[in-house]
Chain A
Amino acid sequence: GQNIDQPTEMTATEGAIVQINCTYQTSGFNGLFWYQQHAGEAPTFLSYNVLDGLEEKGRFSSFLSRSKGYSYLLLKELQMKDSASYLCAVRVSGSARQLTFGSGTQLTVLP
């Protein structure tokens, strides 16, 4: 089975940088995804890592270490609209290539 851990809540200030960590234990690892989800809405894709290292995409960056079973999402220059739940999801190998989601980290950006 899969086990994915991430902090339940985080708070940061507008303009700051925040790092959301995710650790996972899984068999047949085939990629790690980060999604943003605002309340009552579907998740939207932020980033995808399958190899070790950092992927940068504007204000968002995601890092992966497969040997450590660890990833983080880095958000820079925080804006109020970044207040949302951030979901870490692991994809497993196989024909279906399902995603298993972590419990999500609720980020609150304060003025």
Chain B
Amino acid sequence: GAVVSQHPSWVICKSGTSVKIECRSLDFQATTMFWYRQFPKQSLMLMATSNEGSKATYEQGVEKDKFLINHASLTLSTLTVTSAHPEDSSFYICSARRDSSPYEQYFGPGTRLTVT
């Protein structure tokens, strides 16, 4: 149990376009999901906390108008990178929190975004 999926696993887009990444908890409900970004050879940096039915909470320095987060159901959160630029190329990872588990966060497999 506690499987989290992400789609797509990789995507290449042109500069100026928008890309949507989906994060789904497949076998549990997740009131809270987290979005991370990881640049090569660096650790995971928390971008935002996504809460079902309410606005996301963004970390300092993360532009909420550029990284749109929607958590419309207990099993799905989406991250949309708007007007993507090459510097947005990164590995985006989501995690979902199940309140009943002491370990809480289950990570998705990640999405590799390349902006050309």
Contact in complex: A48, B43 (CB < 8 Å): no
Taking CB atoms, residues of chain A closer than 8 Å to B57 are 96
Contact in complex: A102, B46 (CB < 8 Å): no
Give the shortest distance, in Å, between B59 (CB) and chain A (any CB).
Answer: 9
B19-44, CB < 8 A from A? 32, 34, 41-44
Taking CB atoms, residues of chain B closer than 8 Å to A43 are 44, 93, 107
Contact in complex: B93, A42 (CB < 8 Å): yes
Contact in complex: B104, A41 (CB < 8 Å): no
| Residue B91, interface by CB 8 Å | yes
Contact in complex: A97, B97 (CB < 8 Å): yes
Give the shortest distance, in Å, between A23 (CB) and chain B (any CB).
Answer: 15
Contact in complex: B102, A48 (CB < 8 Å): yes
Contact in complex: B102, A42 (CB < 8 Å): no
- The CA-CA distance from A20 to B42 in the complex, in Å, is 17
- The CA-CA distance from A43 to B46 in the complex, in Å, is 14
- The CA-CA distance from A45 to B12 in the complex, in Å, is 29
Taking CB atoms, residues of chain A closer than 8 Å to B32 are 96
Contact in complex: A100, B46 (CB < 8 Å): yes
B-binding residues in A (CB < 8 A): 33, 40-45, 48, 87, 91, 96-104, 106
Q: A101-B46, A103-B43, A104-B42 are in contact. List 7 more A-B contacts (CB 8 A).
A: A40-B112, A41-B109, A48-B103, A96-B49, A96-B57, A101-B43, A103-B42
